[in-house]
Amino acid sequence: MEFSSVGGVTYNLENSDTGYRNGIDAHLDWSASRFLNENWQVGLVGYVYGQLTGDTGPQPANNGLKSSGAAIGPQIGYSFTVNGQAAYANLRGYKEFAAENRVEGTAVFATLSIPLGRKASK
């Protein structure tokens, strides 16, 4: 079994062309999975997202606007080796819900981590 999580905060600068600035936001991403064997794993992923401060800009209707949302979905991963070094492929999907002032939908992400350098010799 494996469980991991990561949190973050994003600070945005003002868009000099529009005068609009998104508020500061925070997120918590998590993953829980089970290894089926040495190479394959399956599990769930998700996140929660929320703005800590509101947007600001030249249109008063948007000032103070905050967004939030959450998502959950499946994931599958495969560990393998390339030139004797660990590599990893992952496919995960998110079904968003509880969205406020943001688009709600489904997203799919594929990642591939392959070492580019040679394995260090001892």
pLDDT per residue over 14-23, tens digit each? 999 999 999 9
Q: Are 51 and 66 in contact (CB under 8 A)?
A: yes
Report the greatest alpha carbon distance in the chain: 63
Is the pLDDT assigned to residue 55 strictly greater than 70? yes
Alpha-carbon span 11 to 89, nearest angstrom? 30
Phi–psi pair at 81, nearest 5 degrees: -120, 145
Encoding tokens for residue 16? 């000099």
C-alpha distances out from residue 6 to 9, 27, 60, 92, Å: 11, 8, 34, 16
Instruction: State the average pLDDT over residues 62-88.
Output: 93
Q: Are 88 and 113 in contact (CB under 8 A)?
A: yes
Q: Are 45 and 68 in contact (CB under 8 A)?
A: no
Predicted local distance difference test score (pLDDT) of residue 38: 94
Most confident of the ranges 46-60, 65-79, 105-119: 65-79
Is the pLDDT assigned to residue 121 strictly greater than 70? no
Beta-carbon contacts of 117 under 8 Å, excluding residues fewer than 6 positions away, are none
Is the pLDDT assigned to residue 9 strictly greater than 90? yes
Predicted local distance difference test score (pLDDT) of residue 61: 73
Instruction: State the average pLDDT over residues 58-62.
Output: 78
Is the pLDDT assigned to residue 6 strictly greater than 90? yes
